[in-house]
Structure 1
Amino acid sequence: MFEMLFRSAPSGENPAVPLSELASDSWLCTGAVSENTALTLSAVYACIGVLGRSMGQLPLHVMRKVDGEVVRATDHPAYYLLHDEPNQWQTSYSWRETSMFHLGGWGNSYSYIKRSRKGEIRSLEFLKPIEVALMKSNSGRYVYRVTNDELGQAGISPFDMLHIKAIGADSKIGKSPITQCRESFALGLAAQNYGNQFFAGGGRPTAIVSAKSALNKDSWGILKDAWKSAKNALKRDDNTTLLLPTELEYKSLTIPPEDAQFLDTRKFNRSEIAGIYNVPAHMINDLEKATFSNISEQAIQFVRHTMTPWIVNYEQEINRKVFTEAERKAGYYVKFNLNGLLRGTAKERAEFYTKGIRDGWMSRNEVRALEEMNRVDGLDDFILSADLQPKQPEAVNE
């Protein structure tokens, strides 16, 4: 039922191709599994959506470290671009969400760093994976060849291309997770198509009505009229009792073993896809094995082991491409704020702040800043609870 023949599909590499075209039965004839066809699976769309929304909601700031002090570098041209509006079509959230969408689907995310003649950064122009190809010239130099409506055909230096990569076979280009695990996604597509065809054909009958005695031509007509009348009554009122002639027997059918296996296959494939993207199952609404105790721990693991590697990937690529060497030496860098994902309940935050203030490593104005409150005079001092005060030396009696 789930056997498929795999081959590449050039049209599936293009994010601009409508999913409705690729989700038709045409791909089933060839067995093609592409990024766009895989995105018709709810589990794939949900996983990439979780990654994109998580990356997009994180505050992103340009920072500068000078003489041991770290401040927000709001005077740098890149601050507004990264924090608010990288280009005329996207907000910072949308730019990063779409970037993760391309990484989860195609394994590569591209943004053209547009600079002025003086070298100052002006915008981050988002590019689709289908529009970009890494080429090697006859002189041995690499260049990104871009083909789209806005730039036409252009060659962009690697220095001016913000290129975030998923795990790949080499250091220059990332590889699509869907390409890497094609068979797993093909299984999900085959199971989904099987279910669509099953229900499109009316599904399996839920019951059998059999006659207890032989039927002649006249009684057969009476039977069909009685059954039609009973079904029409049932449509008008779901709670209507189904009345049948005395010579008929109604037998309800339970779900057959092969259909139960189909449901298990769908569940397994959903869990498998979540594992490929390293997304906890409960985050894509699979709550079968979730409990109140393990969901909290899984959320922390998601931040540590799923989002943090991506965040480091983004930070390092932005730092080495957006800032010049002189700016990096001057202390400029970008930083994602993970507090957006790790922010606890009001009770948990109160306990955390209390410990920080009581132990003397956090001031009360720092707490107010974290809670988006204005500073208050006199709350910058660090305090220490009485039981944590340093022990005073005992007086020596002479």
Structure 2
Amino acid sequence: MGFWRALFRGPSQEVEKRAQWDPATDLFPLPGVVSASGQKVDANSALTVSAVFACVRLLSETICTLPVATYSRRGGVRKEIKSPTWLDYPNAEPGGLGRIDLLSQVVLSLLLDGNAYLAVLWDGPNIVGLEVLDPNRIDTHTVVVDGKRRKVFYVADYDDDGNEVALGWYTTREILHIPGMMLPGEFTGVSPIAFARESIGLAMAAQTYGAKFFANGAMPGALIEVPGAMSEEGLARAREAWRLANSGAENAHRVALLTEGAKFSKVALSPDEAQFLQTRQFQVPEISRIFGVPPHLIADATNSTSWGSGLAEQNQAFAMFSLRPWLERIEAGFTRLLFAETANRQLFVKFSLDGIQRGAPAERMNMYSIGLQQGIYSIDEVRGWEDLEPLPDGAGEGHRVPLNLSDVTADEEPAKPAAIEPPPADEPPAQDGDDEEGEPSDEDGAEEPSPTG
């Protein structure tokens, strides 16, 4: 398939490296992955924070399990067509990754590094597979060819001794690059972990502090001070005597007596020590904001949510503000692959959010009813959305509209309204012997004609 093949063998090409800006390396003299809290923050260590792991898991598992299909658009009409094999089965080899696993890795790369890179495996003119690459092994560059700037990729790996092993240069035909949010003038995405290193580092520091606090035995609930020195045996007897006299439900709330100058003092957390609990609690919505995830979806119910009053509204907001930006980036990348393989700009890939955006049963039925009455949906379309079979003999394929809303050109031309006759012209005044209506009077002396006449 020729994927691992160097494309540029000489220095004839002008290469410019455009790595993404890292706030840590530009602002701190320490190594770029160390935060001000002293924590080493990278993609792997960030996942040890439960809020980061929950956000990444929610987004990746939701996106990778969404239905995805290929469509053709002609004349403004979208029609679903058969998807290419590489979209449904990215790796046809036994034990290879399926679509869900591949999409999960793509989303993790975007969320942790800001970029996703996929090796495109070709067999002649056809794409036969996709493989997600480690973003840390790829450097993105631009190369000037015939006066035009193009994006190329330098791929490297490391051997068992930690030495870098160059694998070669590759073009956009052999590596699909899906960037996340980009700074102006850049063509690689920014890493959420790098830009939020201090917030994540603070959460890691609070987590480490709490773990060490309890690992060191935390602190006793109280102290008994005894003047003078006591042997180990004496300390053990005193401790056991105190336990027997004051532990257990039967000894609850009894008065304790101290003799020989012993003093009792209760040990409490200092304000600084108690503050780390609030710090840990605050970092959950802080990290949720980084990934655009509603806090209540990662089990943080400390505050009321402003993402909607009902489950349907919250799902709608999650789909619109959290999922849609990532989905459209992935759709754009796969659509570029379709064009590279077919040279047909009418084809595109699209995820379906219908399952997430579906409301409650009563809301769906009301929407279906309006759509059916207005002729927007057919019965079979509605039944398909509810995972029901079409009606037999094509009975549900037609669209229906109320009679009072039917097209006037459907059957026959409507009757034209009757023309309004103009009023009669003014008549001369009535003669003597005429009545008011101008009709001859029976009293004008004229002889009526004989009926037989």
TM-score (norm 1): 0.79
Q: How do 1:88-237 and structure 2 match up within 5 A?
A: 88=93, 89-117=96-124, 119-136=125-142, 142-147=151-156, 153-169=167-183, 170-205=185-220, 207-208=221-222, 210=224, 222-229=237-244
**In 1, are the aligned partners of 2:68 and 2:349 still within 8 Å (CA)?**
yes
Residue 326 to residue 126, structure 1, CA distance change in 2 (3 Å): closer
SS in 2 for 1:114: strand
- CA distance change for structure 1 residues 310 and 219 in 2, over 3 Å: closer, same or farther? closer
Does structure 1 retain, via aligned residues, the 8 Å contact 2:114–2:180? Answer: yes
**How far apart, CA to CA, are the structure 2 residues paired with 1:69 and 1:137?**
39
Q: Is the 8 A contact 1:146 1:154 kept in 2?
A: yes
Equivalent in the alignment of 1:43: 51
In 2, the alpha carbon distance for the partners of 1:387 and 1:260 equals: 71
SS at match of 1:259: helix
8 Å Cα contact 2:378-2:400 kept in structure 1? yes
Moved more, 38-47 or 140-149: 140-149
Give the deviation of 1:137 after TM superposition: 5.6
CA contact (8 A) 1:6 1:31 kept: no
Q: Say whether 1:314 aligns with 2:321.
A: no
Q: How does 1:265-284 map to 2 (within 5 A)?
A: 265-284=279-298
CA distance in 2, matches of 1:216, 1:143: 76
Q: Output the amino acid matched with 2:53.
A: Y
Contact 2:39 2:204 in 1 (8 A): no
Q: Give yes or no for contact 1:56–1:96 (8 Å, CA) kept in 2.
A: yes
- Any gaps of 5 or more consecutive residues in structure 1? 13-26
* Structure 1 residues 38-63: Cα deviation after superposition (integer angstroms, max 9, x where no partner): 12111111111111112112111111
Q: How is 1:6-17 mapped onto 2 (pairs within 5 angstroms)? A: 6-9=30-33
Distance 1:358 1:222, change over 3 A: same
Alpha carbons of 1:61 and 1:152: their partners in 2 closer, same or farther (altered >3 Å)? farther
> Is the CA contact 1:278–1:306 (under 8 Å) kept in the aligned structure 2?
yes
Match in the other structure for 1:247: 257
Q: Does the C-alpha gap of structure 1 residues 245 and 226 become closer, same or farther in structure 2, counting only changes over 3 Å? A: farther
Q: Flag the 1:223–1:50 CA change in 2: closer, same or farther, 3 A.
A: same
| Structure that is richer in helix per residue | 1
* Counterpart for residue 64 of structure 2: 56
Report the alpha carbon displacement of residue 395 of structure 1 after superposing the two structures with TM. Answer: 8.8
Q: Which residue of 2 aligns with 1:18?
A: none
Gaps of 5+ in 2: 1-27, 159-164, 420-453
How do 1:13-28 and structure 2 match up within 5 A?
none
> Judging changes above 3 Å, is the alpha-carbon distance between structure 1 residues 216 and 125 closer, same or farther for their aligned structure 2 residues?
closer
Task: Count matched residues.
Answer: 366
Q: CA–CA distance in 2 between the matches of 1:124 and 1:339? A: 27
RMSD: 3.7
One-letter code aligned to 1:105:
L
1:297 counterpart letter in structure 2: E
Match of 1:384 in 2: 401
Other structure's SS at 1:324 match: helix
2:292 counterpart letter in structure 1: N
Larger radius of gyration: 2
- Aligned AA (2:286): E
Q: Distance in 1 between matches of 2:112 and 2:66?
A: 21
In the alignment, is the contact (CA less than 8 A) between 1:7 and 1:30 conserved in 2?
A: no
Instruction: Classify the secondary structure of the residue corresponding to 1:293.
Output: coil
Q: Distance in 2 between matches of 1:189 and 1:45?
A: 12
CA contact (8 A) 2:37 2:202 kept: no
Counterpart code for 2:123: S
Query: 2:64·2:103 contact (CA, 8 Å) conserved in 1?
Result: yes
CA contact (8 A) 2:69 2:350 kept: yes
Matched with 2:352 is 337
**Partner Cα separation in structure 1 for residue 229 and residue 134 of structure 2:** 69
Please give the alpha-carbon distance, in whole angstroms, between the structure 2 residues aligned to 1:260 and 1:296: 38
Change (3 A) 1:210 1:306: same
What do the CA deviations read for 1:328-356 (whole angstroms, capped 9, x no partner)?
A: 33x21111111132123333322221221
Report the CA distance between 1:260 and its aligned residue. 3.4
**3-state DSSP of counterpart to 1:146:** strand
Distance 2:171 2:109 in 1: 21
Are the equivalent residues in 1 in contact too, given 2:102–2:132 (CA < 8 A)?
yes
CA distance in 2, matches of 1:295, 1:378: 35
Q: Distance in 2 between matches of 1:368 and 1:66?
A: 26
Deviation of 1:136 (Å): 4.7
SS in 2 for 1:110: strand
Q: What is residue 88 of structure 2 aligned with on the other side? A: 83
By how many angstroms is 1:363 displaced?
Answer: 0.8
- Aligned partner of 2:366 in structure 1 is 351
Confirm or deny: 8 A CA contact 1:5 1:30 kept in the other structure. Answer: no
Aligned partner letter, 2:32? S
- Aligned pairs for 1:61-72 (under 5 A) are 61-66=69-74, 68-72=76-80
1:79-122 deviation line (CA, Å, top 9, x unaligned): x32234455421211111111111111111111111112x2111
